[in-house]
Every structure is written in C-alpha cells, then in structure tokens.
Amino acid sequence: MTFGRRFTEKLAERGSFCAGIDPHGPLLEAWGLDDDVAGLERFALAATEAVAPVCSMIKPQSAFYERFGSRGVAVLERVVEIGRQAGALVLLDVKRGDIGSTSQAYADAYLDPASPLACDAVTVSPYLGFGSLTPFVETARRHDAGLFVLVETSNKEGPEVQHARTDDGAGPTVAQRMTDHLRELNAGAEPLGSFGAVVGATLASPAADLAFNGPLLAPGFGAQGGTPADIRRIFGAQAAHVAPSSSRELLRRGPDPAALREAALRANDELRA
C-alpha cells in the first residue's frame, strides 16, 4: 500500500492531527526530568505511548535525539518502533538535502525497511535543486514510503528563497516550482500521491498552488499561532489532505498520559469541526 493511500486512510480513521514528539530541554525540565539521555528516554517513550494510539501520525524531530549521540538515536529508534506498533504513521522530521551517494545513504537510513530507523515518510529540503531529491524519490517508490518536501515554511527567513521568482524574475516563485515538480510525481495517483509538501499553518497566504494531488504537513499549529480557521483559509479545498502538526502545545500537557491523550483527541475534534 502506497504512503499516499495509508495517509488518506489513516486521516479518515483517526483524524488529521499530527503529534510532534520533540524533546526540547525546557520541556524535559517542565516534566521534572533531567536534560540527559535518561530524561530523554522517559519523556519520548511516555509521550509516544500516550498519543500514538490515537493520532494518525507522529513526527519526532531527529535533532532533539541526535544531540545526545548514539544513545539518543537509540531512543529515537524506539520511538519509531512504538509509534508504528500503535498504528500511527511515523514521519521523521530530518529535513535532509544532499546530492548523489550521500542523498542515497540518507534515503536508505530512513526509508529502507532494513534500517532500524525506517519510517513511513521523511521531510526533505529541495533547495540544492529538486533533482537532488531523486534518490529519495526512487527509494520512497521502491518501499512505498513518502516524502514531505519543504515548500513554504513559516519561519520569517523563508520568503527570501521560497518567494523568489525563477527565470530572472519573470517566472513563477520557487515555491510554485517545487509544487509543479510534486504535481508531476503524483500524477495519476489515487486516492493521493505519496509526495507531499511542508507548508506552514501561519502563512498570510500561500505563494504556490497547493492542488498537486499530494499530502500536506502544516507545522505551526497550536503554540505557534496556527488555528483550524487558518487551515481552512490557507489550504481551501486541499484542507482534507492536511496534517496540522503541533509539539509544544501538546507536550506541555504531560507528563500525565491521560492529559496528553486528551489533548491529542481534542485537537482532532477541533480540526474535524
């Protein structure tokens, strides 16, 4: 089953909310935990066990695990395993972007089922040229995995590149060019293609046509200011294909697992309404 089909079915079954499992140092402290590997493990596993059974997708941010070295990555492997066992899709937020054999090595690390870090999908950056993502695209196709390509992010620096005009200023925006590539990759896929975009939930208005027959990840929901109304405003007819994601707004409800689960369910209810 392709990632696009799994994404569609999981959102219909569980709702669209995507739970970020991001062990920020201040969040560990707020939970009464030390900012070390033991604290990371208790935090990440407890959060995953609480929300993965009720969310369509979880999104651990790799950097917050990598900062503890190999022992932190070992915790990330367990988060991936627990999330998938609970029936959630696992999107690993790594934002990788490189060329040639290095890009292929990243793709194998995150998308090949033989890897202990194998996930359903990963975030990738196309800003070395969309063609640099070819190893990711081919590996995703081979293993029925997905990609979420950075298209229009919510950070204030993003427009410097993403809103720039191609073809010496006479062509479409760079963000539009990225979605044009995604439209080609997803052509003819049903019910949805497997190649998605990352588009912030706090944008004033998108600079690209988001009807490219693929899934959408909308970070910035919750603590960063994005609301269900913003999802409808920004994505319009594509809102049914959007997974709004939040980390801090959700995780500050811990360490009580019931409170975490309730917060995730409430987010899904708000998005359905």
> Is 10 one of the catalytic residues?
no
**DSSP label of 200:** -
Q: Which of 10, 59, 95, 156 is catalytic?
A: 95
CA 181/CA 209 separation, integer angstroms: 12
Per-residue buried b or exposed e for 143-166, using 16+ beta carbons within 10 Å of the residue's own CB? bbbbbbbbbbbbeeebbeebeeee
- Most distant CA atoms of the chain, gap in Å: 55
Lookup result for tokens 């503890």: 68
Q: How far is CA 83 from CA 54, 101, 150, in A?
A: 10, 29, 23
> By three-state DSSP, how is residue 248 classified?
helix
Helices (H), the chain: 3-14, 25-30, 37-51, 63-66, 70-85, 100-111, 134-142, 159-162, 174-186, 228-235, 248-251, 257-272
Residue of 62, 42, 51 whose CA lies nearest to 19 = 51
Question: What token pair was written down for 224?
Answer: 């960063």
**Residues 6+ positions from 181 with CB-CB distance below 8 Å:** 126, 130, 149
CA 171/CA 156 separation, integer angstroms: 23
> By three-state DSSP, how is residue 123 classified?
strand
Question: What token pair was written down for 93?
Answer: 């937020």
Positions annotated as catalytic residues are 95
